[in-house]
């Protein structure tokens, strides 16, 4: 091969990586929009189906069950078909699930919708993180936080659209159809530009994922705590602001937006920070900030202070999951897809217990007391930094 042809190939590779990075950021953005759309509709779903906190928590649990079941096979599925195919299919099905949230008034239908969203959404998540780890490998740069930042930016956009929907004259169902319709189009267009990551046919012969051991298990436990903390904001923040702080629907939706905006900012700066700050030190600081922000929100009975507190929680949690996923993708002897799926699996196993736990506490005490779980887990994450991460 001549020098000019080598240069042309390198240029094409660079162009492909740039296009794939943009496509992946778009996919993460869409995933954030979908989660925010669900979060904004939690109070509407609660009223639509006539649910109490415990029944609502069980619907959230159905999502966790679906996610855990799918994650048992995520490594082999993504390894067999590749992230590009899985992201396109799972992203579109996730859009359909969210669009169907309020089409029925039967509680069983809601459980099915949440089960589908949890299972297909988790495969969507693993495929995107696998692609992100491949792009990190090819570029030799820390990029995972920035990719996950687009999820938070999507969450901010989705929550903002939900907040503006009543003023725009959109009914809840019209809002769902608008958000998910645009998201499905973005998923299909972006999927075409994703990297054709080589399929690992050997992954298709491996048994379903079992509980990990050693370093993967600890990473998974910390991921569980981080995801429970994030999920508590996604699932309960809007309801908390309406129910505990007597906020309007628009102001309540801003709680999710403030959290997502701060998380996006922290993640976009996260790659720069991770390149200059030891992982253990960053995890300690992250846990402390998230705990302080949640404590502020719960202690001060002011909607404005609550928004500030949610922003601090978002900033504190912003780099926890990206750090843990990056570490999982680099464990020797384990493929990135399997490492990420293993940590995600334990994470979602913990996340399954989060919504019903908070709902149960809220049912018998208050949602304020239930959200103290976020403070406790954030503190534990910070204290576990030395054992969990290198450097």
Residue 379 lies in a domain: yes
pLDDT tens digits for range 236-287? 888 899 888 888 878 888 888 888 889 889 988 988 888 888 888 999 999 9
The answer to whether the Cα torsion of 116, 42, 366, 378 is positive or negative is positive
Residue 200 lies in a domain: no
> Token pair of 127, please?
């495929």
pLDDT tens digits for range 156-174? 889 888 888 888 899 999 9
- Return d(Cα 253, Cα 270) in angstroms, integer: 26
Q: Find tokens 């990135």 and name the residue.
A: 336
What pLDDT does residue 175 have?
94
| Per-residue confidence band for 133, with pLDDT thresholds at 50, 70 and 90 | confident
Helix 320-328 × helix 214-243 angle, to 10°: 160
Q: Find tokens 């999982």 and name the residue.
A: 328
19 burial class (0-12, 13-18, 19+ CB within 10 angstroms)? middle
Short-list 284, 258, 241, CA closest to 378 = 284
What pLDDT does residue 205 have?
47
Residue 224 lies in a domain: yes
> Token pair of 320, please?
């926890």
Mean pLDDT computed over 30-50 = 91
CA dihedral 32, 369, 363, 377 (to 10 degrees): 50
Is the predicted pLDDT of residue 354 greater than 90, yes or no? no
Residue 143 lies in a domain: yes
- Return d(Cα 30, Cα 155) in angstroms, integer: 8
What pLDDT does residue 156 have?
81
DSSP, residue by residue, 113-147:
HHHHHHHHHHHHHHHHHHHHHHHHHHHTS--HHHH
Domain residues for 258? 16-194+209-388
Q: Which residue has the higher pLDDT, 312 or 245?
A: 312
Residue 354 lies in a domain: yes
| Helix/strand/coil (H/E/C) assignment for every residue in 64-85 | HHHHHHHHHHHHHHHHHHCHHH
Residue 4 lies in a domain: no
- Return d(Cα 367, Cα 360) in angstroms, integer: 9
For the chain, the domain total comes to 1
Q: Find tokens 């091969």 and name the residue.
A: 1
Short-list 95, 68, 116, CA closest to 354 = 68
Mean pLDDT computed over 138-147 = 83
CATH of the domain at 50: 1.20.1250.20
Residue 2 lies in a domain: no
Is the predicted pLDDT of residue 186 greater than 70, yes or no? yes
DSSP, residue by residue, 177-189:
HHHHHHHHHHHHH
What pLDDT does residue 391 have?
60
| Per-residue confidence band for 199, with pLDDT thresholds at 50, 70 and 90 | low
Q: What are phi and psi of 17, to 5 degrees?
A: -65, -40
Instruction: Answer yes or no: are the C-beta atoms of 357 and 369 closer than 8 Å.
Output: no
What pLDDT does residue 5 have?
39
Residue 175 lies in a domain: yes
What is the value of pTM for the model shown?
0.73
Short-list 141, 279, 161, 137, CA closest to 222 = 279
Burial 272-306, CB ≥16 within 10 A → b, else e: ebbeeeebbebbbbbbbbbbbbbbbbbeeeebeeb
């Amino acid at each position: 091969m001549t020098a000019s042809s080598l240069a042309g190939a390198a240029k094409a590779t660079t162009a492909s990586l740039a296009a794939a990075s943009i496509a992946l950021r778009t996919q993460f953005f869409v995933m954030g929009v979908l989660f925010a759309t669900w979060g904004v509709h939690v109070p509407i779903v609660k009223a639509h189906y006539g649910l109490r906190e415990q029944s609502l928590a069980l619907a959230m649990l159905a999502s966790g069950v679906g996610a855990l079941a799918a994650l048992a096979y995520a490594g082999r599925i993504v390894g067999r078909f590749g992230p590009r195919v899985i992201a396109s299919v799972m992203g579109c099905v996730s859009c359909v699930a969210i669009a169907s949230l309020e089409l029925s008034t039967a509680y069983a239908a809601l459980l099915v919708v949440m089960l589908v969203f949890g299972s297909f959404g988790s495969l969507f998540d693993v495929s995107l993180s696998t692609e992100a780890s491949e792009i990190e490998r090819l570029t030799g740069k820390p990029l995972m936080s920035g990719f996950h930042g687009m999820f938070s930016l999507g969450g901010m956009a989705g929550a903002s659209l939900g907040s503006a929907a009543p003023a725009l004259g959109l009914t809840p169902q019209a809002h769902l159809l608008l958000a998910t319709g645009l998201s499905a189009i973005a998923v299909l267009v972006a999927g075409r530009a994703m990297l054709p990551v080589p399929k690992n046919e050997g992954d298709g012969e491996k048994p379903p994922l079992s509980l990990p051991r050693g370093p993967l298990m600890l990473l998974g436990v910390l991921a569980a705590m981080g995801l429970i903390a994030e999920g508590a904001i996604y699932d309960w923040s809007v309801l908390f602001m309406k129910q505990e702080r007597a906020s309007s629907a628009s102001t309540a939706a801003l709680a999710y937006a403030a959290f997502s905006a701060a998380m996006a900012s922290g993640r976009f700066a996260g790659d720069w920070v991770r390149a200059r700050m030891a992982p253990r030190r960053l995890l300690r600081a992250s846990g402390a900030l998230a705990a302080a922000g949640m404590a502020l929100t719960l202690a001060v009975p002011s909607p404005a202070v609550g928004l500030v507190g949610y922003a601090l929680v978002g900033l504190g949690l912003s780099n926890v999951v990206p750090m843990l996923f990056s570490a999982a993708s680099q464990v020797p002897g384990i493929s990135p897809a399997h490492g990420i799926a293993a940590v995600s699996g334990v994470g979602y196993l913990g996340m399954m217990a989060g919504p019903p736990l908070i709902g149960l506490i809220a049912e018998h005490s208050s949602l304020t007391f239930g959200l103290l779980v976020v403070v406790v887990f954030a503190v534990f994450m910070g204290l576990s930094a030395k054992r969990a991460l290198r450097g």
